[in-house]
Amino acid sequence: MLTSTFAEGGGFAKTRPEKDIPDIQFHFYPSKIKRQMELNSILGHGFSLQTCLLRPKSRGSVTLKDANPDSKVLIDPNYLAEEEDIQVFVDGFKLMRKILNTAPIRDHIKEEINPGKNAVQTDEDIRDFIRDNATTIFHPTGTCRMGPSEDREAVVDSKLRVHGIQGLRVVDASIMPEIVGANTNVPAIAIGERASSFILGVDETNNGDDDNAFVATAAL
């Protein structure tokens, strides 16, 4: 089991044709699992397909508990607070079932075990299943987001310098203004590479327009 990279396949999809860009990502696992990343939820031989929300509208928060620097911060992910997120999930769930009901993969499936076709049929059932079972895939971003100083919610400028504080940069996934519509590891590395150029003063892609400087790297 542990010789597998786990998420061995996947893909990006639009839940509705009128959407401009994909809003869900599928992860394909070569084992039966109940919840992603929970080894003790593995149910045995088989496979699993998972729908992942790429562009959640719900926003969480990180706040200070008190003035003591040793206190842990309060983290509220606020998952699925926005109705639109649930709807995308429901649409994604149905698209997933449609794919699994299509040849050739259909011919390799004996039965749907979790949640099980009989147990979950209506949109309301799917909603309940999502509310009870949805979990994170560990891509938190945006708690120190980049933006102009006039933006009250922005923490760093386009060179990752903290607004109003000299000599301090934030260089990690937290500076993303919005979550990228994909996994966050490569963008986090791109942010690190970009910041090292800023710090070394070898910002070869800087065309003098600071606002464009980061976009060029993120497009990698």
Residue 46: φ, ψ to 5°: 150, -155
Q: Judge contact between 141 and 56, C-beta under 8 A.
A: no
Q: Which stretch binds ligand FAD (CB under 6 A): 92-100, 108-116, 178-186, 210-218?
A: 178-186
Check residue 183 for interaction with ligand FAD (CB under 6 A).
Answer: yes
Smallest gap, in angstroms, from Cβ of residue 127 to ligand FAD?
26
Closer of 112 and 172 to ligand FAD (Cβ)? 172
Distance, CA of 58 to CA of 85 (rounded, Å): 7
**In the chain, alpha helices (H):** 83-100, 123-133, 185-200, 210-218
Torsion of CA 33, 35, 36, 39, to 10 degrees: -60
Q: Which is nearer to ligand FAD, 115 or 174 (CB)?
A: 174
**Cβ atoms < 10 Å from Cβ of 39:** 11
Q: How far apart, in whole angstroms, are the C-alpha atoms of residue 26 and residue 20?
A: 18
Beta pairing class for 24-29 and 48-53: antiparallel
Which tokens in the block code for residue 83? 């109705």
CB of 137 to ligand FAD, least distance (A): 7
144 touching ligand FAD, by CB under 6 A = no
Does residue 172 interact with ligand FAD by CB under 6 A?
yes
Stretch that binds ligand FAD, among 21-29, 88-96, 146-154, 180-188 (CB under 6 A): 180-188
- Decide if residue 139 touches ligand FAD (CB under 6 A): yes
**Is residue 138 a contact residue for ligand FAD (CB under 6 A)?**
yes
Is 139 noted as a catalytic residue in this protein? yes
* Residue 196 engages ligand FAD in binding (rule: CB under 6 A): no
Binding of residue 188 to ligand FAD (CB under 6 A): yes
Q: Measured between alpha carbons, how far is residue 174 from residues 16, 75, 201, 214 in Å? A: 29, 13, 23, 14
CB of 187 to ligand FAD, least distance (A): 8
Residues between 11 and 70 with contacts to ligand FAD, criterion CB under 6 A: 37
Instruction: Give the binding-site size for ligand FAD (rule: CB under 6 A).
Output: 10
Distance CA 106, CA 26 (A): 17
Q: By the criterion CB under 6 A, which residues form the site for ligand FAD? A: 37, 138-139, 172-173, 183-186, 188
Residues carrying an active site annotation? 139
